[in-house]
A and B are shown apart, each in its own frame.
Chain A
């Protein structure tokens, strides 16, 4: 079983892009890689060739991996429809529509969700997983599927993506590590600083201190780039497959550029491979 989970310090920290970037990196090395996100809360969905509805991010990541998106890549999709109503899509098919507070079969959903993970693991060389929001929302952690839930259920080693743009990056990394439950904290192996502008050597002393305090390794610093990725909205209504439109080609091209920039900037993706090795 070879897998890695990209966690984020917050929403929008760059999990989706960095997971896609790593998919791309592996794909270019000839690895049979597949993306996976247990659970997505989004109205931006994509419909796969066989008519399954999944989150947009996993469709992007599938293209980065050079494969067709499938329902297993995002087995749980939560679609809020307003007024406290929500549709739960499981493995690409509507599972149940609920109103706020209504109980539903969480265990069944969990089983199907992680079952999809198992299927991907058995069918592909490496599964690149994406977490959801921050993994340490103290008020939500107990029912979490995509972060601590997956770490616990499948012992997936993890990497934390930390956004430096708004500041407080060291606090975010340290706090996330600290608040992870004891039984899964050891699975978090490293962190990536995303969206940095300026002279990276200014960060050295801070990074060293965090490594010393947590035992995590800094995998690299991703430069701030305003590469335009296709807007999710513009894609959401379209069905598509690789090659039939140029939007996802553009996305993959941008990803290739970001990959070059990141590697030039000293990001060492082989460190993530070593983390993947620890899952085997």
Chain B
């Protein structure tokens, strides 16, 4: 406490410093945050809308205000600084808590407003609509958080506090200018393990495995609803807007009451709802009218606007139909959005659906198309004008490649067997030493000499399996535990930073030269990955290893281009910056297509 008072004294002396962009931690909460009070003059306010009690090392209760965003908002800082001057307050003055704080919180704290985006179908464009709305509101100066109560996806990310959530909510948080996504934003993550079974991850941690029936009959009416409530409540306490995303169609009348991803979540958060329909496949008006009219009245009246999304060609041709639909439903069409060409990580494995390759560049990168491929957003930075990324399903695709990536999978041992069955395993062994090969996570495990699953944790069948033998490593699944951690590291041989995250069951006993040295705080002694430089073999658990330019450059520098033209000039841009630029393009596109007056009315935005 003494220390806090000392820091606050200096802060008061410095006055309103605004955003400290030179601070190495900036932004620690959100872009443009006010850093005047890195330490809070109101500590400990004990206001549970802003912070929470945590348990200290000796079991004592400690007030934690790490979740508080209010103290970093300009208006709150301005008010505080003017009160300090007016009352002549010094650090530690009890009047901060007795006088100033209650009045300031009364004046400036508002519970946020929830608006939910539902889609008439999967792939309606819900996710990007949430991202676009979030970026638009952020540019207007509002603080927003994304929320999707239940997401089914094998594309997950690790938050800074080690929770596993869906990739899309991380992307949306980035759109909203937030430094860190957290587990509140996607409290239920379903990771499909087969056709009917999923691992249910709750608030970032593995909870249990469920069959479809058990999920709807036990989990949802049991803990499910409460999980949704407490997490969306948290976000509403901290943000101006919580932009929620539904899942699939909200009008699946056969499971309507068990669906906590759509209108039940809207009810819990008391959200207004925007319906998005993808126009591309036709039938948009039927889908919209049917979706609205199949809902019971109390849900229907939450729907405040409809967006016709992904219109190819002249958007004006849709207007007469939109006008007629407005008459029929009494709900305004608040946007007609053209098809937008933006480069953002894709939620669904759209890339893999019926496509055998992406791009048309001279360098052929073969990505082994594992049947249970996971975290395929790892590949996004590889798509460029200089590459043709081939999703390899046959040995020929491998033998023809200039570089090879073995990606991650939800089932390493099952997919290793698949590689053996289709001949890709042998093809990879033939290519060893001829082209650079990198294995990520499950792909890295496969590059070892042995994969040992004595209890059948990974694939249901206990046994030892022979890996590719590129590395002298052994991976073992000895217990039902999952390593979920964020990493920062440097390439040991040659330098260059990488950043990423690990999500895996099964641990490796590494006997090879390590690839990375950790730079994450407190882990500087750890190394990660394996490398055999002379054979151009690389392996790592780090998802996102290509996002920063360093490893991407190293990998592509090894490509010898046969007769396919010149050296690849891979973009030196950080993939994160590429994404950020595209989020702006996305928001621009939506701003053009939206009726901004109607939009502002729904959100209650005053300008």
Please report A residues at the B interface, Cβ cutoff 8 Å.
8-13, 133-134, 136-140, 166-168, 170-176, 178-179, 197-198, 202-207, 209-210
B254 & A137 in contact (Cβ 8 Å cutoff) = no
Contacts A136-B283, A178-B290, A206-B252 known; list 20 others, CB within 8 Å: A10-B281, A11-B281, A134-B282, A134-B283, A138-B321, A138-B324, A138-B325, A139-B321, A166-B123, A170-B251, A170-B252, A171-B120, A171-B251, A171-B291, A175-B286, A179-B286, A179-B289, A198-B212, A202-B255, A204-B254
When C-beta atoms are compared, the residue in chain B nearest to A140 turns out to be: B321
B283 & A166 in contact (Cβ 8 Å cutoff) = no
CB distance from A140 to the nearest CB of B (A): 7
B251 & A203 in contact (Cβ 8 Å cutoff) = no
A10 and B289 CA atoms in complex are apart in Å by 14
Mask: chain B, 283-305; 1 = CB below 8 Å from A; 0 = not: 11111111101100000000000
A178 & B121 in contact (Cβ 8 Å cutoff) = no
Q: Which residues of A contact B289 (CB under 8 A)?
A: 174-175, 178-179
B122 & A172 in contact (Cβ 8 Å cutoff) = no
Partner of B253, one of A11, A170, A176, A198: A170
Q: Which residues of B contact A133 (CB under 8 A)?
A: 282-283
Given A137-B321, A138-B320, A205-B254, does the pair A168, B290 have CB atoms closer than 8 Å?
A: yes
Given A9-B286, A172-B287, A175-B293, does the pair A167, B321 have CB atoms closer than 8 Å?
A: no
Please report B residues at the A interface, Cβ cutoff 8 Å.
120-123, 195-196, 212, 248-249, 251-255, 281-291, 293-294, 317-322, 324-325, 328
A32 and B482 CA atoms in complex are apart in Å by 63
Given A139-B318, A178-B293, does the pair A168, B287 have CB atoms closer than 8 Å?
A: yes
CB distance from A227 to the nearest CB of B (A): 15
A-B interface pairs (CB < 8 A), number: 120
Instruction: Please name the 6 residue pairs, one residue from A and one from B, whose CB atoms are nearest each other, closest first.
Output: A175-B290, A139-B321, A171-B290, A206-B254, A134-B283, A168-B249
CB distance from A208 to the nearest CB of B (A): 9
CB distance from B470 to the nearest CB of A (A): 34
A172 & B286 in contact (Cβ 8 Å cutoff) = yes
Partner of B248, one of A139, A168, A173, A176: A168
CB distance from A221 to the nearest CB of B (A): 12
CB distance from B287 to the nearest CB of A (A): 5
Q: Which of A167, A174, A204 neighbours the largest number of chain B CB atoms within 10 Å of its CB? A: A167
Q: Which residues of A contact B120 (CB under 8 A)?
A: 168, 171
A178 and B287 CA atoms in complex are apart in Å by 11
Name 7 A/B residue pairs within 8 A (Cβ), A-sorted.
Answer: A137-B321, A139-B322, A172-B283, A172-B287, A179-B285, A198-B212, A202-B254
CB distance from B346 to the nearest CB of A (A): 16
Q: Which residues of B contact A12 (CB under 8 A)?
A: 281
A170 & B294 in contact (Cβ 8 Å cutoff) = yes
CB distance from A41 to the nearest CB of B (A): 11
Given A167-B248, A168-B249, A170-B252, does the pair A175, B122 have CB atoms closer than 8 Å?
A: no
B196 & A171 in contact (Cβ 8 Å cutoff) = no
CB distance from B306 to the nearest CB of A (A): 12
CB distance from B39 to the nearest CB of A (A): 49
When C-beta atoms are compared, the residue in chain B nearest to A10 turns out to be: B283
A197 and B253 CA atoms in complex are apart in Å by 17
A203 & B254 in contact (Cβ 8 Å cutoff) = yes
A171 and B275 CA atoms in complex are apart in Å by 13
Partner of A10, one of B255, B282, B320, B325: B282
A172 & B290 in contact (Cβ 8 Å cutoff) = yes
Q: Which residues of B contact A198 (CB under 8 A)?
A: 195-196, 212
A139 & B320 in contact (Cβ 8 Å cutoff) = yes
CB distance from B125 to the nearest CB of A (A): 12
Q: Which of B290, B294, B321 neighbours the largest number of chain A CB atoms within 10 Å of its CB? A: B290
Given A168-B120, A168-B291, A171-B291, does the pair A205, B196 have CB atoms closer than 8 Å?
A: no
Q: Which residues of A contact B294 (CB under 8 A)?
A: 170-171, 174
Q: Which residues of B contact A167 (CB under 8 A)?
A: 121-122, 248-249, 252
Q: Which residues of A contact B284 (CB under 8 A)?
A: 134, 137
CB distance from A239 to the nearest CB of B (A): 28
A174 & B293 in contact (Cβ 8 Å cutoff) = yes
CB distance from A90 to the nearest CB of B (A): 24
CB distance from A199 to the nearest CB of B (A): 8
Q: Which residues of B contact A207 (CB under 8 A)?
A: 254
CB distance from B525 to the nearest CB of A (A): 49
Q: Which residues of B contact A171 (CB under 8 A)?
A: 120, 249, 251, 286-287, 290-291, 294
A206 and B287 CA atoms in complex are apart in Å by 16
B121 & A168 in contact (Cβ 8 Å cutoff) = yes
Q: Which residues of B contact A170 (CB under 8 A)?
A: 251-254, 290, 294
Q: Which residues of A contact B325 (CB under 8 A)?
A: 138
Q: Which residues of B contact A173 (CB under 8 A)?
A: 290
A176 & B286 in contact (Cβ 8 Å cutoff) = yes
A276 and B526 CA atoms in complex are apart in Å by 74
CB distance from B232 to the nearest CB of A (A): 23
CB distance from A84 to the nearest CB of B (A): 10
B285 & A138 in contact (Cβ 8 Å cutoff) = yes
A203 and B254 CA atoms in complex are apart in Å by 6
CB distance from B64 to the nearest CB of A (A): 41
A171 and B250 CA atoms in complex are apart in Å by 9
Q: Which residues of A contact B121 (CB under 8 A)?
A: 166-168
Q: Which residues of A contact B290 (CB under 8 A)?
A: 168, 170-176, 178
Q: Which residues of A contact B281 (CB under 8 A)?
A: 10-12, 166
